[in-house]
Chain A
Amino acid sequence: MASVRRVFGLQRSTFAFGAFLVLPVALFLIFFVYPIGQTVYISLHEWNGVAPTMRYVGWRNYLTLASQPRFLHALANNLSWLAFMLICPTGLGLLLAALLDRGIRGERVFRIVFFLPFTIPAVAVAAIWRWVYEPSSGLLTQVMQLIGLDGYAQNWLGDPKIVTYSLMGAVLWWTTGFAFLVFFAGLRNIPEEFLEAARIEGATPWQVFWKVSFPLLWPSTIIVLGIFAIDSMRLFDVVWATTGGGPAYSSEVLATQMYDVAFGRFQMGQASAISVYLLGIAAVIIMPYISYMAGRVSDNEAE
């Protein structure tokens, strides 16, 4: 060891830091860098996943996908999911948190009720919502019959035009609890003096919320938006377990398409190209969130 230090001219402390870094760096290279590199490598080849050799095809997989309506539709679905996740569960979670923060009786019970769906696994959510959307006797159809809107009942998961919106309803129910909890914790952490000062100045509850509480909720909002953006890009389980990407690929997202192409059609090259596309899009979308969080960490360290 001493000779190694001498050769590289390292001090004892630098050497110790380096030694401690070996294991995490090795794990990072093995479990993060290598799989990404391997995926990019496979995406440049034609391979069925079992054959001993791959055929180099260059950028063909990427170009084929870019001209494929199925891929473009899945990409558009992913972007719709992104917009939906950034607006609907976030907005509803904020609304519920703001309402409960007003000191409503039974607040603890409501807190549990709103957060409960988030604790359910995705496959169970899919099973529940397949029952809700069952077109002949599902909960939604029955409720619509009860209030005289049975003429508007649809084949919620069987109609290609509305299936994505139906899935969004299920995901709204599932994920709002997370946004609610983060916003509620954020609201509870706002010092009472700030709110009291605004009230003394004559601000209405609406003004207190928008001018005082909401700006102070910015860190919570960034966390919720960042996590939902990531979720919308890696969305797979609910879509796969509810519709399998159907009918006629209409509810498909990039992750379900990648799975189908890889393990349904055994076109590993094209599936890898989809995952590289997904990685690139996710990186572009999520980068502002990561840079903001990194900035916060360095600010905290500076303090």
Chain B
Amino acid sequence: MTQALQQRRLVASYAVVLIFAALFLAPLALALTTSLKSPEEITRVLSLPCPCMCRTMAWPFPKWGAAFSIRS
């Protein structure tokens, strides 16, 4: 096996390891930054609505409607 091929494989391994290290560290970094926020800021962020939440909340409504409908 040539020296260049070995070098290339090592670089590829290093890149994969780096990507996984970033993925493993990101949630910890998030926990650290969140711990520095004030309760007011956290409450403000959590009160923001988002479209995907509305989508999820929308699907049970017809079922609830059916459950409460009066049967003749």
- Interface of A with B (CB < 8 Å)? 92, 96, 99-100, 102, 104-105, 110, 113-114, 116-117, 124, 127-129, 131-132, 134-137, 139, 141, 153-155, 158-159, 173, 176, 204-205, 247-248
The reply to whether A128 and B31 form a contact with Cβ atoms under 8 Å apart is: yes
In the bound assembly, the distance between CA atoms of A292 and B68 in angstroms comes to 57
A150→B45 CA distance, assembly (Å): 18
A129 contacts B21, C-beta separation under 8 Å: no
A241 to chain B, nearest CB (A): 14
Contact with A along B10-27 (1 / 0, CB 8 A): 100110110011011111
For the complex, give the distance between the alpha carbons of A158 and B60 in Å.
12
> Which residue in A113, A136, A247 is a CB contact (below 8 Å) of B25?
A113
Taking a contact as CB atoms under 8 Å apart, the answer to whether A99 and B16 are in contact is yes
**Is there contact, CB below 8 Å, between B17 and A129?**
no
Q: In the complex, what distance in Å separates the CA atom of A104 from the CA atom of B34? A: 32
Query: How far does the alpha carbon of A83 sit from the alpha carbon of B50 in the complex, in Å?
Result: 33
Most chain B CB within 10 A, of A99, A105, A116, A248, is at A99
Write 13 A-B pairs (CB below 8 A) sorted by A numbering.
A92-B20, A96-B17, A110-B21, A113-B24, A114-B21, A127-B31, A128-B30, A129-B27, A134-B46, A153-B50, A155-B52, A158-B56, A204-B1
- Classify chain B's interface size: 20 to 34
Main secondary structure, interface of A, reads: helix
Binary CB contact string for chain B from 26 to 66 against chain A (1 if under 8 A, 0 otherwise): 11101100100000000001101110110111001000000
| Chain B residues with CB under 8 A of A154 | 52
Flag whether B71 is at the interface (Cβ < 8 A): no
- Whether the pair A96, B20 counts as a contact (CB closer than 8 A) is yes
Cβ contact of B13, chosen from A99, A113, A158, cutoff 8 A: A99
Cα separation A154 to B56 with both chains bound (whole Å): 9
Q: Which residues of B contact A134 (CB under 8 A)?
A: 45-46
Residues of chain B with a CB closer than 8 A to A110's CB: 17, 21
